[in-house]
Amino acid sequence: MVWQPVSALLLIVAGVPEAGPSWRGTVKVDGMIYEPGGYHPYVATITLHLREAERSVVAGGFRVALVSEDSTNDVRTSVHQTDGPMLCAGTGTETLPRRAIGYLETKAGQTTYHLAVPRAFGAFACGQNHAVKRDRVVIIGNGDPEAAEIETRDSVLRPLDETNSVMKGYFESTKTRGAVRYEYKISWSVTREPSNKWMQRTRPAQALEPHR
């Protein structure tokens, strides 16, 4: 029997470029729109799959881009009359585009994060999977200005937890457009996968040994 020692198998694995660490978790956007004669609840649960990508130098430290890969958006919404019946309801699910949506920034020994979550509000209307083309972004973690339609933004610089492996937080905000009032409750919990996860996925289930 021809067999390969474990060392040879590890060399084969080592020859495959390793992707950067990944992060997984959810962002929940709980919104309410009040207008004369009615109100509109809107709840989005964004399941994030993020991958650390290219690293760049900034003043006083460095950044690592966070790329969204196969993240999903699940929405429930409805329209109600004030003191009257519900007029319609809607649900929708979509896979978000693969692109950079934020970064980690390390300066003076502390790492903070900034996320621009796409399609986070108003992505679906009443009906089933009735998608709206507008890309209304929710900003988590104060950071660089974004060239996007910002629905609401966080005003706080957000550090990772003491293990540098968890993004977790909450904020509320309000705004008005004419006679329409918007209220938002934003919460999130996103965790870095263990660094040995990639090796666990690629390690052979059992190394071949020679017969004695």
Listing DSSP states for 136-151 in one string gives EEEEESS-S--SSEEE
What CA–CA distance (Å, rounded) separates 3 from 209? 7
Q: Are strands 38-58 and 72-81 parallel, antiparallel or unpaired?
A: antiparallel
Residue 28: which of 149, 138, 160 has the closest Cα?
138
pLDDT in tens, the chain (212 residues): 444 443 333 333 333 345 689 999 999 999 999 999 999 999 999 999 999 999 999 999 999 999 999 999 999 999 999 988 999 999 999 999 999 999 999 999 999 999 999 999 999 999 999 999 999 999 999 999 999 999 999 999 999 999 999 999 999 999 999 999 999 999 999 999 987 544 344 333 333 344 44
Residue 130: which of 86, 160, 92 has the closest Cα?
92
What is the per-residue pLDDT for 18?
A: 53
What is the per-residue pLDDT for 83?
A: 87
What is the per-residue pLDDT for 13?
A: 33
What is the per-residue pLDDT for 133?
A: 94
The pTM (predicted TM-score) of the whole model is 0.82
Q: Are strands 149-153 and 136-140 parallel, antiparallel or unpaired?
A: parallel
